[in-house]
Amino acid sequence: MGPRTADAPDASGARAVRDALAALADGLRALPPSCGPVRLVAVDGHAGSGKTTFAARLAAALGGAPVVHLDDLATHAEPFGWTERLRTEVLEPLAAGRDAAHRVYDWTLRRFAGTAAVPLAPVVLIEGVGAGRRAVRPWLSRLVWMELDAAAARRRGEQRDGPELAEFWAGWAVAESAHFAADPSRPFAGTVVDGVTGRIAPGTVGEPSTTPLTCAIATK
Model pLDDT for residues 150-194, shown as the tens digit of each residue: 988 888 877 887 777 767 777 788 899 999 999 999 999 999 999
For the domain spanning 8-194, the CATH number is 3.40.50.300
The residues that bridge with 191 in the sheet, in sequence order, are 144
What pLDDT, in 10s, does the model give residues 55-102? 999 999 999 999 999 999 999 889 999 999 999 999 999 999 999 999
Handedness of CA 110, 112, 115, 121 (dihedral sign): positive
Full-model pTM? 0.85
SS3 14: helix
The three-state secondary structure class of 46 is coil
